[in-house]
Amino acid sequence: MRFIEPHIHMVSRTTDDYQAMALAGIRTVSEPAFWAGFDRGSAQGFRDYFNQLTMTERARAALYGVKHHCWICLNPKEAEDLTLAREVLAIIPEFLDRPSVLGIGEIGLNKNSRNELTVLEEHLALAEQRGELVLVHTPHLEDKLKGTRLIIDAIRNFKGITPDRVLIDHAEEHTAGVIRDAGFWLGLTLYPTSKCSPARAIDLLETHGTDRVWLNSAADWGISDPLATVKASEEMRRRGHPEALIEKVFFDNPRAFLSQSPKFSV
Amino acid sequence: MVQSTCPQLATDILDRSFLENRARLLEVAAFLDRIDRSREPEAGRADFRYRACQDALQLLASASGERAKALQLLLSDHSPEPRVSAKGLKGAAGAWKERR
Ligand SMILES: [Zn+2]
């Protein structure tokens, strides 16, 4: 079966993950820009990271038969320092035109602060102005519901951004309906302890439907699993869901959302 | 009446997942016992996370349908306004400290 992994942080993974993913049928990935586990000290640090995403990682993936795409932004965990955030926002347009960049992401909120919201709005203004696709990170655990609501309110203020060009990721039982009702694409993340298990993610598909939704591993430098989507597809199969529906969730849906960027291909 | 959306037989779900969930229940019980046997257990029982755990157990015993959603709501920050600053804050605790 063919898979698209639409949200994974390959810069934090080893090369044998690429081998395992290709063997399992994951030959197309999209990698949002994120937090490295420490705060970068300067805009130059982000420039290096954006070069890594758009050039080094793409080339490394290609060696193992995986097509690599990415998203560019300053992630919300580093948005509290407005001066640095604005220096980074100023260099982002240089990277958005690169051949593998699909849009702006993963932007959003982390601790739901005023500065995070300001930086989110400045990214949204850039997305609106350039007509970019948007990939949104929602906060963790107790912050998720409030953050999801604040993010949706913020996006609605940008009339040039239509909900069908925005995917709001890391949804769980209490936010999936909120995101769906507002007309956005929905992302479910298979991540141990802090997000969905394969079983809960498939429960959410059964209760919210399989339209305009993708599943991802968000695998990164934490305890996480680059084959999580493959394991979730097995859970769906074991429950008796038809093959065509499984293919829709793990291949057709992410392809439909990502293909809104002409730079995406499988 | 909860709508039927899972194609599996209920007894098949039990066959496949009862033992796994029995083990999870035992982990919760042992976790609470461990706090009872710990040093300064009162400080643990007064902690917002312990109280959230107690309320969660009550919720599971009383609710029917959408238990997972109800549990998520119980553990969520329901304040409407953005936080003044996130300086020095990165992670999340898993329960809302200000919940009464
Ligand atoms: Zn991510």
The pLDDT-based confidence of B1 (bands split at 50, 70, 90) is low
B98: in domain:
no
Domains contained in chain B, number: 1
Percent of chain A with pLDDT over 70: 100
B85: in domain:
no
- For residue A182, the model assigns a pLDDT of 98
What's the helix, strand, coil split of chain B in %, to 5?
55, 0, 40
The pLDDT-based confidence of B65 (bands split at 50, 70, 90) is confident
ipTM over 0.85: yes
CB atoms within 10 A of CB A59: 9
Q: For residues A114-122, give the mean pLDDT.
A: 98
Q: Is A195 helix (H, G, I), strand (E, B) or coil?
A: coil
Percent of chain B with pLDDT over 70: 99
- For residue B3, the model assigns a pLDDT of 82
For ligand 1, the distance from its centroid to the CA atom of residue A218, given in whole angstroms, is 5
Statement: A3-258 belongs to CATH 1.10.1070.11: no
B36: in domain:
yes
First to last CA, chain B: 31
Q: What is the mean pLDDT of chain A?
A: 98
Domain with B29 in it: 10-75
Cβ neighbours of A79 in B, within 8 Å: 86
Asked if A171 and A165 count as a contact pair (C-beta separation under 8 A), the reply is: no
B85 vs A114: CB contact, 8 Å cut-off?
yes
Across the beta sheet with A166-171, what order do the strands follow?
A3-5, A26-31, A67-72, A101-108, A133-137, A166-171, A185-189, A213-216
Backbone angle region of B66, left / alpha / beta, with phi > 0 → left and psi within -120 to 50 → alpha? left
- For residue B63, the model assigns a pLDDT of 76
Q: For residue A157, which amino acid is it? A: N
Size of interface A-B (CB pairs under 8 A): 87
Q: For residue A243, which amino acid is it? A: E
User: With 0-12 CB in 10 A as exposed, 13-18 as middle and 19+ as buried, what is A245?
Assistant: middle
**Which pair of tokens denotes residue A201?**
């993610």
Backbone angle region of A13, left / alpha / beta, with phi > 0 → left and psi within -120 to 50 → alpha? beta
The least confident of B4-8, B60-64, B75-79 is B60-64
What's the helix, strand, coil split of chain A in %, to 5?
50, 15, 35
d(CA B10, CA B8) in angstroms, rounded, equals: 6
Within the 170-229 window of chain A, which residues sit less than 8 Å (CB to CB) from chain B? 172-175, 199-200, 203, 206-207
Q: For residues A31-51, give the mean pLDDT.
A: 97
Q: For residues B65-90, give the mean pLDDT.
A: 96
- For residue B74, the model assigns a pLDDT of 97
0.90 cut: is pTM over it? yes
Q: What is the mean pLDDT of chain B?
A: 95
B97: in domain:
no
